[in-house]
Amino acid sequence: MFVLWAYFGLGADARLPAIRRNLHRKRDQLEGSVEPEKRYYLVYPRVSEAPPPNQDLPQEIAAIYNEASNVLSPSPRSAAALLRLCLQKLCVHFDCPGRDINADIADLVRTGKIRPLVQMAMDTIRISGNESVHPGTLNLSDDKDLAISLFQFINLVAEETISQPRKIEEQFLKMPADKRAAIEIRDAARSEQGAAK
């Protein structure tokens, strides 16, 4: 298999070297003899450490997720910003305005659409994504582990809010029609009792 490494360093030595020289430098890096400010990235084939997107993510959001996955190695900060965009689009998918993610998350908590654990995951994505594009207290430039966690959190949000409800509804619709009708009558009676009080 053909593998291409690109070298990104500082100063005059920052030019893309010949492949043979590059492979020797990669060997040196693995052995620990390359200065820490010089970095090597696998250019081809493209490999990402990010988990694959949840299969139930809407197509537009999955495309942004995959774009974030492609830039994870060279730029965890860029990946965090793109995952924040995924979160914003998910909020719109949940019928929130999408203008203010913080307000959208608060609305989802208030209406009971998300659990507190999911809210913490969403706030972590929101804060990390904001910090990646605005000066703040977090430095995501080299924090690939945090960026990978954000991918997992997007999948958690999708699992809790899209996948699980879909699976439950599919199974419920497989129940006999007369049993489902009895449940609807039961729930309607309970709603009327609550309104009468």
Average pLDDT over residues 33-59: 73
Q: What percent of the chain has pLDDT over 70?
A: 69
pLDDT tier at 41, thresholds 50, 70, 90: low
Q: What is the pLDDT of residue 120?
A: 95
Q: Cα torsion at 110, 114, 117, 122 (round to 10°)? A: -90
Distance CA 153, CA 91 (A): 14
Q: What is the pLDDT of residue 59?
A: 95
What are 184's two structure tokens?
């609807």
Average pLDDT over residues 75-81: 89
138 pLDDT higher than 70: no
Q: What is the pLDDT of residue 42?
A: 62
Average pLDDT over residues 122-138: 80
Q: What is the pLDDT of residues 92-129, one digit of tens each?
A: 999 999 889 999 999 999 999 999 999 999 999 998 88
Q: What is the pLDDT of residue 131?
A: 79
Find the farthest-apart pair of alpha carbons in the chain and give their distance in angstroms, rounded. Answer: 81
pLDDT tier at 77, thresholds 50, 70, 90: confident
**Residue of higher predicted confidence among 47 and 173:** 173
Q: What is the pLDDT of residue 158?
A: 95
